[in-house]
Structure 1
Amino acid sequence: QLVFLALNRNNLTGTIPNSFGNLSALEELYLAESNLEGSIPSEMGQLTRLTIFAIAINKFQGVIPATIFNISTITSFSVADNLLTGSLPADIGFTLPNLQSFGIGGNKMGGEIPVSLMNATQLELLDIAGSNYVGQVPANIGGLQNLQWINIGSNHLGSNKTHDLSFIASLANCSQLRLLYFNNNNFGGELPSSIGNLSNQLQRLGLGQNQISGKIPAGLQTLANSLNMLGMEGNLFSGTIPDYLGKFQKLQVLGLYGNRFSGNIPASLENLTELYKLQLSRNQLQGNIPSNLGNCKRLTEVYMQQNELIGFIPQQIFSISSLSNTLNLSRNSLTGSLPLEVGRLISVYALDVSENKLAGEIPQTIGGCLGLEYLMMQGNYFQGMIPSALASLKGIRHLDLSRNNLSGQIPKDLENLRNLQYLNLSFNELEGEVPTKGVFAQAGTVSLLGNRNLCGGIPELQLPTCLPKGMKKRRSLEMKIVTVILGTVFLVITLASFAVLCWCRKRRNDRSSLTSEVDRALRVSYHELYQATSGFSSKFLIGSGSFGSVYKGRLDQHEDRPVAIKVLHLLSAVASNSFMAECNTLRNIRHRNLAKILSCCSSIDFKGNEFKALVYEFMENGSLDTWLHQEVAEVQSSRTLNLVQRLNAAIDAASALCYLHDGCETPVIHRDLKPSNILLNHDMSAQISDFGLARLLPKITSNYSQQGDSSIVVKGSIGYAAPEYGMGGEASIHGDIYSYGILVLEMFTGRRPTDDIFRDGLTLHNYVKMDLPGNVMNIIDPVLIAMEREAQTEAAATEEEEDGDDIQEEGDSNHVLSPSCEACVVSILEIGLACSVDAVPKARMKMKDVLRELHRIRGAVLRGG
């Protein structure tokens, strides 16, 4: 008779035969790690002598037959990592009293942990991780005194309340406990001091990704002689990191990231000589990086990003030759230069010092980091030339040196880096000819925005042609001659203009007083507007704002075409001033991307009240805001914008701002640019509207401007208005550029700058900045991703039909945009960031540069890369 059957770790397929139920003498069954599927036969319940039931890591599905839970002889029950559903029987501890090992994690099972399980007093291993269990952990779990391994992580246990961790006190009875994981649940409250009463044999303690708050209890230090892994990441812990952690000399992994720790990094961590992974990122840590961390000679990974660290990077950090994985010091306030010792990190895989205040030249010694694949140094003050030694990094895949003060030419040898997939050199002061091979051969893999003196490169980059070397000196002499000539011409024109201006002023003084706000020829009567809107009926209301309401109507004088009628709310002088501003602005400007004013009305209504209205062309596709932000029920509709449509709208808005700022005789500042003030025509072309806050630049110091521009009144809408406006700063074109930058970020992330997540110092600008470029998929509008993914799927299906090839296997293409599409979105968002810099308004990207770069990006998108 068959007593022992081991078929595990084979390539078996199919199901478990029902006839296995006839193996009445079978005691041990091993079918793990194969490709078996289907349901577990209920006939298996007939194996009344079974002690080991091991079918883990297969594809079994359905509910575990109740008959199996009645085999009281089972000591090892292992069904983990399948597709099983259902819940555990309430009486499992009574029907399987001899359990020693119980592993059911990695399935789709759920419900509460049966209290009866505490009756299986011989239990040594309990693993229900990665399932859907809810409720509380039984308070008497410590009654299982033989437990050595408890893994209840990655469930939905707990209730985010203070009593959730009360079960820990009972675990003091488990004197042989070596592993305790309850991470990735909903446990709340503070970590009880009873954590220090756990077994002195405990080696691994994982409680990360919960809602545990408060300080780390002092009692934890009693585990110093045994723990080699401590994971407390992703909680709400606060206070300082205890000095006593330096006593945990066996510790190999310390995970404290994603909490609210403050204060300095303890110098005592130098005693953790066995440590290979240190995770302190995303806290509020301050002070300097301790130089004595260089004594941790086994470190392979160090994460300290997104803190408030200051001072120099200690050179001792770069003397840790074991650092072979990652050194991430980004998003702090580190100063000084990058130490020459950086070249000692021969085998480091990723180095990130981005978004700090580092300065000086990038050392040539960085070429010694031969194992480097990811190098991020963006957002600092590095200067000088790009080191030629970077060409020694043969394995480099991702290189970002953007937003620094680098100058000189781009090293031509960078085009020989065959593995380089992304290169960002944007917003520096680089000059000269751009290489054309390697990573430079595709516009979607290289970003060179904001470097005004670059030339050459592939045509898709749309850079000016480089001058021959012999032409440069001759061009310099020609420029000097031209300058002299232009200076003379300018003087003559200035004198002539002055004479003409004096003559014009004399004539203007002779005219009659201008009492109307706009030309009388443009006027329409109140009666006509009343009839066109059926008495300003609510059924014709298409929108409203702080200064007025907008109605749809039809006017005979405009060939019965639909028009938009903006009726001002004349409850304050501000609304009247808005009418003046809009009339005076729009009467003198004409551009295809600016809303066209057709008529206006300044009259008295039927009740004798003052009435003012403006008549515009009706834009049948409404505002950009309604296309970007729809209700959940509407998302499946056709009112969504794809990548090209959003890019076109961004280009149209940029074109309009270029005209307002540089193309008008008197520069015009809009001051209230936002999605609801951008309208879409029948062909989806965009037009900027609502000039109620607009200002003519030379007049901002007039009495009229001062009335509306007091330091108490913010010029624009919250979230879109430039920060300097909130401090009483004067209106300028740089304020419009800031609003445009926020607009661009909103268009491609789908998030308003006023969304609830933007609090405690987090802004839309910082939200995007933190995830560029490597994690851009985390912030792109999900609606946009879905549309582009659908387009890619349709294109692939069409290609498959045409070519007769098999459809590609499912992979990353189902989860991300194409590399070229993703690179284009990164470039667009970088423009949004460059426009929305808040510190120095004049440092914002010029609109003409924005327009040029957006045209280049659109060209790349339309070419498919």
Structure 2
Amino acid sequence: MLQVIQLNDKAFTGAIPPNIGNLKSLYSLVLNNNQLETNDWSFLTALSNCTYLQDLQLSANKLYGVLPNAIANLSTSLEHLDMSFNQLEGSLPVGFGDLINISMLTLSRNFLTGAIPATLARLEMLQGLFLDHNNFSREIPSNFGNFTRLSMLDLSFNGLSGNIPSSLGKCSLEVLSLGNNKLTGALPKDIFLISTLSIYLGFPHNLLSGPIPSEVGSLKNLIQLDIRENNFSGQIPTPLGECQIMEYLYLDGNLFQGPIPSALSQLRGLQELDLSQNNLSGPIPEFLETFSQLSYFNLSFNNLEGEVPLKGVFLNASAISIVGNRRLCGGISELKLPPCPIETSKKKHPSLKLKLVILVPIAILACILLLSFAIAQYWRHKSRKEPANMTNFNDTYIWVSYADLVRATEGFSPANLIGAGSFGSVYKGNIGGAEDINVVAVKVLNLQQRGASRSFTAECEALRCIRHRNLVKILTACSSVDFKGDDFKALVFEYLPNGSLDSWLHPKVGEQSRVLTLIQRLDIAIDVASALDYLHHHGPVPIVHCDLKPSNVLLDDDMVAHVGDFGLARFLKASFNLSSQKSTSSAALKGSIGYVAPEYGMANKVSTSGDIYSYGILLLEMFTGKRPIDESFKDGLSLRMYVEMAQANQVIDIVDRDMLEEQNGNVRST
């Protein structure tokens, strides 16, 4: 009577036994993330006896060889099949088309070849199809338009050629990923008329050409558009300005020409914009200064000219790139551009009387309009009511319930626990089903802990108004009740797979040893410094983090550092004198022993200098490999004093030995 087998992440080896087919009541078999192998696929043939089978997950094992057509004999009740991250070879059996009730088919990251069989179009219930990172060739089947329920299609990183079939415009897609193939021709207009496209539309690294259809303006709900590294030409289409929800726009590596259109001024939610390696000309539009969310902006290698703006993202040299535009001038000093020439007008100036006749009525009208706008905003703000189950986040954040997070984390399973702190625990979760897109980190607050609710509020208030590539990105928040009726609060962040800096510097007993090189440590130090510089000087309001330490520095796939955990953050009143800046909160200051600035023990005033002190301790820890509360520090000795006592010729004695051995090994190997 066994119905469910779930043995994922258990390091099992050997073959999957064929007598598993004796389990006539089995409807879910999950064996992901093991080291299981197969010789003759007899277990797959035996599973045809399991007529109730709905869920078969075998991803991240060592299954190899050619898939037999016996897969067509699996139960027609099968809804979810995942064999990704294996070593499957050969062509895809046409028998897949007989699994008529399947809704999610994932075969990503294998070595499958040949054409994608057109028989897949018979799977009318299909909602997600993931064939990315294989070696498929030839054209995308034109009958894929039959997937009227399909919401996610990923065929990226293959060798597909030919045109993109216009029939895809019949699908109800939210995600369409066709990047890193050999697709040619123009983009069909029908693709841009898919009203459901909201998460991602991408064709990067192909051979596509021609102009971008004006229908691109129909993608009013799209968050990310990526068409980089193709041969698209003409001007950047002005209808792009109608995609006002867009946050990520990548047009680099094409043949676009002409000026940057003023219509893009409507894309005020942009966080990343890349227009590099085109033939764009004219000045940099001033409206880009007002994009408060923009944290990455690349204009390099174009033909732009004139003065570089001096506000917004242009104040952060690490967030912009303008190299390869020889006629640009001005900007902040870090850009090292020549000063702009001072132009004197040769035109005859109008008389003072004429100026007054024109300007006075305009000034009066402007004052009336501003006053009216201020009054309207006041009453609108006063009458507005916040949603009951959500902290005041922008409408662009996704809404999740307690039940959604339970499902995403498999009931907050200990197997998904990736960290714990003073105010709560962090779990890895999946809010959708497409791992490349929907893997998140869920921070669940322990509301029994004193100060946890205040920490939740502080973190929401801080993260709702800051955006920077070296800060952990928040996706949403949930303030609700659990199934028992108790209060529940959680924050959902992007998942950063390389964990915390602390786990790299101080691995736990039994964990695989990972060593950061000197260059990696320098890069991380610069990343953290960039985040602090943004928080202190370039954000909407100066923010003091108050708890900077290695466990609050997280690393992404590329080992780029992101500062997180703003549960103790403080907002500062605007002031030009940092020594006079005060916290807007009078709550007792807390932090982590060893990282808190000494002056915090004498007063409840916080300043940016406190973060700088914590950053200094973090640097010493990174390059010595010792915690500030290391067991070897006794009789009043501290990490700072330990480093200070090392003379100039003894510095090598206190440097992290693991880093030195790694560095010496690299030098010897070269």
Q: TM-score, normalised by structure 1?
A: 0.43
1:530-549 equivalences under 5 Å are none
* 1:130 Cα deviation after fit: 2.5
* Structure-2 change in CA distance of 1:130 and 1:326 (3 Å): same
* 1:320 Cα deviation after fit: 0.4
Structure 1 position 410 matched with structure 2 position 151: no
Q: Counterparts of 1:785 and 1:227 in 2: how far apart (Å)?
A: 48
1:811-826 equivalences under 5 Å are 811-813=552-554, 816-818=559-561
Partner SS state of residue 358, structure 1: strand
2:551 counterpart residue number: 810
Which among 368, 383, 401 is matched to residue 275 of structure 2? 401
1:289 counterpart residue number: 164
**Cα offsets for 1:659-683 (capped at 9, x unmatched):** xxxxxxxxxxxxxxxxxxxxxxxxx
The answer on whether the counterparts of 1:439 and 1:446 sit within 8 Å (CA) in structure 2 is yes
* Structure-2 change in CA distance of 1:357 and 1:775 (3 Å): farther
Q: Counterparts of 1:819 and 1:257 in 2: how far apart (Å)?
A: 28
Q: Counterparts of 2:518 and 2:229 in 1: how far apart (Å)?
A: 28
The answer on whether the counterparts of 2:206 and 2:229 sit within 8 Å (CA) in structure 1 is yes
* Structure-2 change in CA distance of 1:368 and 1:793 (3 Å): closer
- Partner amino acid, structure 2, of 1:191: L
Partner SS state of residue 517, structure 2: helix
Partner SS state of residue 66, structure 2: coil
The answer on whether the counterparts of 1:362 and 1:386 sit within 8 Å (CA) in structure 2 is yes
Q: Counterparts of 1:447 and 1:243 in 2: how far apart (Å)?
A: 44
The answer on whether the counterparts of 1:251 and 1:275 sit within 8 Å (CA) in structure 2 is yes
Structure 1 position 341 matched with structure 2 position 82: no
Which among 778, 783, 786 is matched to residue 520 of structure 2? 786
2:318 counterpart residue number: 444
* Structure-2 change in CA distance of 1:268 and 1:814 (3 Å): closer
Structure 1 position 466 matched with structure 2 position 200: no
- Partner amino acid, structure 2, of 1:195: I
* 1:808 Cα deviation after fit: 3.8
Structure 1 position 139 matched with structure 2 position 13: no
Q: Counterparts of 1:137 and 1:340 in 2: how far apart (Å)?
A: 53
Partner SS state of residue 189, structure 1: strand
Structure 1 position 173 matched with structure 2 position 49: yes
Structure 1 position 189 matched with structure 2 position 33: no
The answer on whether the counterparts of 2:35 and 2:61 sit within 8 Å (CA) in structure 1 is yes
**Cα offsets for 1:28-51 (capped at 9, x unmatched):** xxxxxxxxxxxxxxxxxxxxxxxx
- Partner amino acid, structure 1, of 2:153: L
The answer on whether the counterparts of 1:424 and 1:447 sit within 8 Å (CA) in structure 2 is yes
- Partner amino acid, structure 2, of 1:156: Q
Partner SS state of residue 12, structure 2: strand
Which among 126, 132, 135 is matched to residue 5 of structure 2? 126
* 1:468 Cα deviation after fit: 2.2
The answer on whether the counterparts of 1:301 and 1:327 sit within 8 Å (CA) in structure 2 is yes
2:249 counterpart residue number: 375
* 1:162 Cα deviation after fit: 4.6
**Cα offsets for 1:729-773 (capped at 9, x unmatched):** xxxxxxxxxxxxxxxxxxxxxxxxxxxxxxxxxxxxxxxxxxxxx
1:330 counterpart residue number: 204
Structure 1 position 232 matched with structure 2 position 232: no
1:49 counterpart residue number: none
**Cα offsets for 1:385-422 (capped at 9, x unmatched):** 01112121111000000000000011100110000000
The answer on whether the counterparts of 2:69 and 2:94 sit within 8 Å (CA) in structure 1 is yes
Partner SS state of residue 212, structure 1: strand
2:607 counterpart residue number: none
1:312-331 equivalences under 5 Å are 312-331=186-205
* Structure-2 change in CA distance of 1:180 and 1:324 (3 Å): same
**Cα offsets for 1:413-439 (capped at 9, x unmatched):** 011000000000000000011101001
- Partner amino acid, structure 2, of 1:432: G
The answer on whether the counterparts of 2:553 and 2:561 sit within 8 Å (CA) in structure 1 is no
1:642-653 equivalences under 5 Å are none
Q: Counterparts of 2:168 and 2:528 in 1: how far apart (Å)?
A: 53
Partner SS state of residue 65, structure 2: coil
Q: Counterparts of 1:462 and 1:129 in 2: how far apart (Å)?
A: 54
The answer on whether the counterparts of 2:187 and 2:208 sit within 8 Å (CA) in structure 1 is yes
1:429 counterpart residue number: 303
* Structure-2 change in CA distance of 1:127 and 1:196 (3 Å): same
Structure 1 position 157 matched with structure 2 position 31: no
- Partner amino acid, structure 1, of 2:20: I
Structure 1 position 205 matched with structure 2 position 81: yes
* 1:193 Cα deviation after fit: 1.2
The answer on whether the counterparts of 2:527 and 2:560 sit within 8 Å (CA) in structure 1 is no
Structure 1 position 148 matched with structure 2 position 23: no
- Partner amino acid, structure 1, of 2:202: N
The answer on whether the counterparts of 2:47 and 2:74 sit within 8 Å (CA) in structure 1 is yes
Question: Identity rate of aligned residues, in percent?
Answer: 42
Partner SS state of residue 43, structure 2: helix
The answer on whether the counterparts of 1:789 and 1:814 sit within 8 Å (CA) in structure 2 is no
- How much is the aligned-residue C-alpha RMSD, in angstroms? 3.0
Q: Counterparts of 1:173 and 1:409 in 2: how far apart (Å)?
A: 69
Q: Counterparts of 1:425 and 1:173 in 2: how far apart (Å)?
A: 60
Q: TM-score, normalised by structure 2?
A: 0.55
* Structure-2 change in CA distance of 1:257 and 1:814 (3 Å): closer
1:65 counterpart residue number: none
Unaligned ranges ≥5, structure 2: 348-495, 500-514, 534-543, 564-618, 620-670
Q: Counterparts of 1:386 and 1:289 in 2: how far apart (Å)?
A: 28
* 1:786 Cα deviation after fit: 3.5
Q: Which has the larger radius of gyration?
A: 1
1:695 counterpart residue number: none
**Cα offsets for 1:523-553 (capped at 9, x unmatched):** xxxxxxxxxxxxxxxxxxxxxxxxxxxxxxx
* Structure-2 change in CA distance of 1:281 and 1:814 (3 Å): closer
The answer on whether the counterparts of 1:785 and 1:817 sit within 8 Å (CA) in structure 2 is no
Which among 265, 268, 271 is matched to residue 143 of structure 2? 268
1:457 counterpart residue number: 331
Partner SS state of residue 24, structure 2: coil
Higher relative contact order (CA 8 A, sep 6+): 2
- Partner amino acid, structure 2, of 1:446: I
2:116 counterpart residue number: 241
The answer on whether the counterparts of 2:96 and 2:120 sit within 8 Å (CA) in structure 1 is no
Which among 151, 166, 175 is matched to residue 301 of structure 1? 175
Q: Counterparts of 2:497 and 2:131 in 1: how far apart (Å)?
A: 22
Partner SS state of residue 81, structure 2: strand
Q: Counterparts of 1:288 and 1:130 in 2: how far apart (Å)?
A: 41
Q: Counterparts of 1:308 and 1:178 in 2: how far apart (Å)?
A: 35
Q: Counterparts of 2:545 and 2:295 in 1: how far apart (Å)?
A: 30
The answer on whether the counterparts of 2:555 and 2:561 sit within 8 Å (CA) in structure 1 is no
* Structure-2 change in CA distance of 1:183 and 1:813 (3 Å): closer
1:665-744 equivalences under 5 Å are none
The answer on whether the counterparts of 2:24 and 2:51 sit within 8 Å (CA) in structure 1 is yes
- Partner amino acid, structure 1, of 2:154: Q
* 1:806 Cα deviation after fit: 4.5
Partner SS state of residue 367, structure 1: helix
* 1:205 Cα deviation after fit: 0.8
* 1:221 Cα deviation after fit: 1.8
State how many pairs are aligned. Answer: 388
1:492-511 equivalences under 5 Å are none
* 1:135 Cα deviation after fit: 1.5
1:646 counterpart residue number: none
